[in-house]
Amino acid sequence: MSVKQPIAADEFQYVSTLVRERSAIVLEVGKEYLVESRLTALARTLEYDSLSSLIRELRTKKCPQLVNHVIEAMTTNETLFFRDRHPFEALQEDIIPDLIKKRADSKKLTFWCAASSSGQEPYSVCIMLREHFPQLLNWDIQFICSDISELMLKRTREGIYSQLEINRGMPARLMVKYFLKEGATWQAKPELREMITTRQLNLAGQWATIPPCDIVFIRNVLIYFDTTVKREILGKIRRILKPGGTMLLGGSETTIHIDDEYERVRAAGSWVYRVAS
Ligand SMILES: C[S@@+](CC[C@H](N)C(=O)[O-])C[C@H]1O[C@@H](n2cnc3c(N)ncnc32)[C@H](O)[C@@H]1O
C-alpha cells in the first residue's frame, strides 16, 4: 500500500453504521482517527492498495469475510492478567467462599466471562480458583468464555502469551507454576486450558447458549455501547444470574441509572452486583 490517506466523511459514516449494526460498538464523530488507523493496517494486511479501496469493496460486495475482518479490527482487545486486582480479591475473600456454602449440595458452579478477549481474564480466575480453593477440584465447574472476535477466542483456547503479555500482571511464581515455556512464549498448562470452553457470542445478539450462571464477568466492554444496549444486556444478565449469583463490571462501569434492579454490594474494595431478592 502506498500513501496513507485520511478517511472521507462518507466512508467513516458507512463504517461506523456497519460496526454499530453488527457489534453495537459506537464510533462517534471524532473517532475517525481510530477507524483510519485500524482499517489502514487491515488494508495493508489484506493487500488492498488503499484504505478507500478496502471500504469500496466493503460497500459494493458486502463479503461476510471482509465484514468480519472489519468488525474484528474495530474491537479493542486490551486486557491483562489480574486486571484491577480488587475484583480478584473480592472473588477470593467473599464471592467464592459464599458460593461454596450456597452450592454445597449440588457442587456445581457456572461461570461466564462475556468478553474474554485473549483469555487473560478467565485464566486469572482459573489460577485463583486453583490456588485458593482446592476443594473445588471435584466440583462440576463450567467456565464459558465468549467474545465477538473469533480471533480472540482462538487465542484464548491456545493460551499462548508473549513475555510482554505475561509481564502484564502475572506474578513470576504463578507463571512458572501454570505456564510452560515454548520458545519465546508461555503457554497455559493443559490443566488450566481444560477448565474453560469458548463460544462466539455477540452481546448485542441472541444468547441462546448461555445457561443460568453463578458469576458473570462482563468487564470493560459495556463502555463501547450506548445506554439502550447496556440496559438490554444488563437486563438479560439479571435473568440468567442464579439466585445468589454475582456480576462483575469493569472499574469505570456501573448499573446506576441504567438498571436499578441490581443491588450494588461492596466486596473487598470492589463493587459487585447482585439481583435484589
Ligand atoms: C477491552 S476488552 C475486555 C477484556 C476483558 N474483559 C478485560 O476486562 O480485560 C473488550 C472485549 O469485548 C469484545 N467485544 C466488543 N464488542 C462485543 C460484542 N458486541 N459482543 C461480544 N464481545 C464484544 C472485544 O472483542 C474485546 O475482546
Same domain, 59 and 160: no
pLDDT tens digit at each of 277 positions of the chain: 655 778 999 999 999 999 999 999 999 999 999 999 999 999 999 999 999 999 999 999 889 999 999 999 999 999 999 999 999 999 999 999 999 999 999 999 999 999 999 999 999 999 999 999 999 999 999 999 999 999 999 999 999 999 999 999 999 999 999 999 999 999 999 999 999 999 999 999 999 889 999 999 999 999 999 999 999 999 999 999 999 999 999 999 999 999 999 999 999 989 999 997 6
Asked whether residue 92 falls in the same domain as residue 58, the answer is: no
Domain boundary among 54, 74, 94: 74
Choice from 67, 75, 217 to test ligand 1 binding pocket (greatest atom count within 8 A of CB):
75
Q: How far apart are CA 112 and CA 144, in angstroms?
A: 5
Cβ < 6 A, ligand 1 pocket: 23-25, 75-79, 83, 115, 117, 121, 147-149, 152, 201-204, 219-221, 224, 250
148, part of any domain: yes
In a domain, 251, yes or no: yes
Domain assignment of residue 201, yes or no:
yes
* CB atoms closer than 10 angstroms to residue 245: 24
In this prediction, residue 1 carries a pLDDT of 67
Residues 264 and 219 in one domain: yes
Whether residue 98 is found in the same domain as residue 37: no
Q: What are phi and psi of 84, to 5 degrees?
A: 70, 0
Q: Which atom of ligand 1 has the smallest separation from the CA of 83? A: 9
Do 68 and 118 share a domain, yes or no?
no
Residue 114 lies in a domain: yes
- CATH number of the domain that residue 51 is part of: 1.10.155
Q: Which residues of 247-259 are buried (b: 16+ CB within 10 A; e: fewer)?
A: bbbbeebbbeebb
The CA 178 to ligand 1 mean position distance, Å, reads 24
CATH code, 113: 3.40.50.150
pTM more than 0.75: yes
Same domain? For 152 and 15 the reply is no
The CA 155 to ligand 1 mean position distance, Å, reads: 13
Q: 2 lies in a domain?
A: no
Q: Are residues 53 and 134 in the same domain?
A: no
Q: Is the dihedral of CA 40, 42, 44, 46 positive or negative?
A: negative
- What is the total count of domains within the chain? 2
Q: Is residue 3 part of a domain?
A: no
Q: What phi and psi, each to the nearest 5 degrees, are found at residue 159? A: 60, 35
Say whether both 103 and 36 belong to one domain.
no
Alpha carbon separation from 5 to 14, 36, 65, 247 (Å, rounded): 17, 8, 24, 43
**Greatest CA span in the chain, whole angstroms?**
65
Asked if residue 1 is part of any domain, the answer here is: no
- Rounded to the nearest angstrom, the gap between the alpha carbon of residue 184 and the centroid of all alpha carbons in its chain is 25
Q: Are residues 227 and 205 in the same domain?
A: yes
Q: Are residues 222 and 120 in the same domain?
A: yes
Closest-CA residue, ligand 1 atom 7, reads: 79
Distance of alpha carbon 132 from alpha carbon 126, whole angstroms: 10
Q: How far is the CA of 60 from the centre of ligand 1 (A)?
A: 28
The beta-carbon contacts of 140-143 under 8 Å, at least 24 apart in sequence, are: 140/106, 140/107, 140/108, 140/109, 141/108, 141/109, 141/110, 141/111, 141/195, 142/108, 142/109, 142/110, 142/111, 142/197, 142/211, 143/110, 143/111, 143/112, 143/113, 143/195, 143/196, 143/197
Alpha carbon 124 to its chain centroid, in Å, reads 13
Alpha-carbon distance of 203 to 261, in angstroms, equals 20
Nearest CA to ligand 1 atom 2: 77
Q: Is position 81 within any domain?
A: no
CA–centroid distance, 76 to ligand 1, in Å, is 7
DSSP 8-state symbol, 204: T
Are 54 and 115 found together in one domain? no
How many CA atoms does the CB half-sphere of 127 hold within 13 Å?
A: 24
Cα 59 to middle of ligand 1, angstroms: 25
Cα-to-centroid distance, 1 and ligand 1 (Å)? 30
- 65 & 95 share domain: no
Domain boundary among 52, 74, 96: 74
Domain around 33: 9-74
Domain edge (last residue) among 41, 74, 107: 74
Amino acid found at 237: I
Give residue 152 CA to ligand 1 midpoint distance, Å: 9
